[in-house]
Structure 1
Amino acid sequence: MHDIRLIRDDPAAFDAAMGRRGLTGIADRILSLDEARRAAIHEAESAKARQNAASREAGAAKAAGDDAAFARLRAEVADSKTRMADREAQARDLDAQQSRLLLELPNVLAPDVPDGRDEADNIEVKRWGTPRDFDFAPQEHYQIPAVAADLDFATAARLSGSRFVVLRGTVARLHRALAQFMLDIHTTEHGMTEINAPVIVRDDAMYGTNQLPKFAEDSFRLTDGRWLIPTSEVTLTNTVRETVLDADALPLRMTAHSLCFRSEAGSAGKDTAGMLRQHQFEKVEMVAITRPEDSEDEQLRMLRCAETVLERLDLPYRTVKLCSGDTGFGARRTFDIEAWLPGQRTYREISSVSTTGDFQARRMNARFRSADDPRPRFVHTLNGSGLAVGRTLIAVLENGQQGDGSVVLPPALAPYLAGMTRIAA
């Protein structure tokens, strides 16, 4: 959500910011609605004032026995009342149009976000680990002999349709172990508070983290009007909705392991094999609520939290800064972490870490107050995957596959798997 006062003060700067997002002429549209809305409010207030004055004058005319003046003034009161109601309705309609437009506009990008059209223009900022040399042709996760039978897409399709999977046996246990491993690192080493929250939310929560109104088709809606969360960013961030926090309580750092649901609208034919892109998946999410002056450092801190998980698992990865054309709707800046997948012979996204500035806080009315400044200010919100559990499972299986069809597992997971270090073919 954008501050209308900033748009009024410098419409050219706002247009330039939206221009980086591929949008033009936005400030004029907003300010035209704003001008008409304020004019309607002014006319409604004027009509109300005249109604009150005419009512007093009518009372005086009646007391003086001036029936003609009394009748004329009574008619004027009725006319002013009608005009006031009309202008108030007009102002409400214009306000709704303006609010809708503001809700559908993306966040202003940070100055250091590189210009570009798509992922080809993203900038690599880090690379860790060396992809392993295989003496055989590495396979994709669903082809590896040791685990193929435990990735049951056929049963899932009978149960739920395409883009679902049933995990069995050792693979299901490994998936669970990865989530536990991530949570333990974030809670014991990274100072995050573990949260277990609902996966069903109301409209307000989806608006707060900018899934609505623009991305309604990307999420699943229940018959009662509520939504299945696309990520626990929605629930974790909205825990501070409509609150005024004490500055001394910031930053708030939260993590959650949850089911996530996405309709994957617009991804037909993309990543249809395997479990890379699913309607239902699990993720360990990270969310931070900070003071504005701390959010830049917090994003880099969260990025390291996510990278640490991959390093403990000895999974090669690269970190990229997203360009303007690839940065998500609500983000000011995003770093993607991409894990090396030998079966695809490429790096694939396994985490996105974004700062939204006060964009989400304005939508949620989430603020804080300092002891030295009693005026509430909007917090800054940040979110990131720490990590996507299913995609981490894919990376572990593909990087650990052996020529005999078995999979060697990262030593860091042994305590979570009763000492198991290999899945036999």
Structure 2
Amino acid sequence: MAFASTPLLDRLLADGVIGQDHHEAARRRLGDAAAEPWTTLGEALFWLVDEGIVSDAELGAMGELSVTEGAFAGNATRRQALAEMDALMQRKLQDYERQSRQAVLRAAFPGPRWVWLGGGAIAAVAVAWYLFAPASPPQCDDANVQKTLRASLFTSRIQQMSRNPLAGGAAPADLYLATFSDVREVGYIKPERSRGCSATLKVGEAASTLAYTIGPNAKGEMMIASADPRVVRARYGQLDDAGRPRDVGQPAGALRLAAAFEQGVAAFDQGTAGEARKAAYARQRERMGLPAETDTRTVRNVQPLGDCKDLGGGKWSCRLLAEYRDRLLSAIGRADWQVFEGDFDFVREGEGWRVGEAFTRQYMDAIVRGRVAELKGDEAAARLEQIQRQRPDAAAPTLDAATPDTTPATPRGREHRGDGAVINK
């Protein structure tokens, strides 16, 4: 049998990205082909994974070596192949988006294409998706939605492995075979045409709860975004009969509470310790060759959970849920954003609202509980909150000293923490 010319495959072998057994298996699989069917190292690596020649575990090991063997010459090839493979997946998602959008346009503008090319047809096509999109987004159990989520989870996992190969998680290829069950709609916000969904995601033998949202962005493009299940429940589970978000957090209201909370966090971050943490993180990104961050928020998705309790004297206690950017857990391979919830004091001053004097302690206690929930489970976090409530005047712990140990705990097996990845549909 005449083997194909395989310069890219040969380079992967020569630089230690794949082994001799991979190389030989790939050449046998190519059969009578005269040349490689790929044009980049990333395409070759993707083919090797897709064909089962390179296993998921071996792909994960490649991601680890791309970081730990940075000083070795052959590592440049490994990093290039992983980066090109990620870019290939991004292109596949974009192609899927374009095909889906074209299908909608064909449905909106039936008949020969030339009929729509006169007069203001170009402007009409530019806004067609927004004007002619369905009155509501696809259903939670739509097959194309699930297909897009699988592809997004695959890409996010590859990116996570390239950033931190020591992080645990599912094998990328397994995510393409993930199944969905118990799919349900958490809520539908009619004015925004936005749907919140949850489902049980099964990857191999592991099952977890996955949450995601479906709705148009500012340009009218239908978007699918994975999210933390608790965030989806807080946003889509508090709607009135007309499908509008109830203005919880009274008497302040959701917007005022979120603004006051974010101002309190900003004041906290302006302290010496907060600035030192930001500077250390910036140095870490620079050492890793990563660009400066564009999203510098510390908290996001601040949501009241019900109305506030009157403490008297213009003071109120309000229970909030929020996402916090946790640099410490991110450094050990956990998600960048962690969810916490807790009771926070607010002070009403005329029409304005601000956080109370105990905010620093309440905020830091909530962060610690969020870490405990991620590492040890929700029940452990709930027990910790009971303990914290019994010492309301205790000094606040430092963020690093209050961090629980990171020894493995019993797997949560309940919720898939959303990474916030957004996909055009």
TM > 0.5 between the two?
Answer: no
Asked which structure has the greater RCO (Cα within 8 Å, sep 6+), the reply is 1
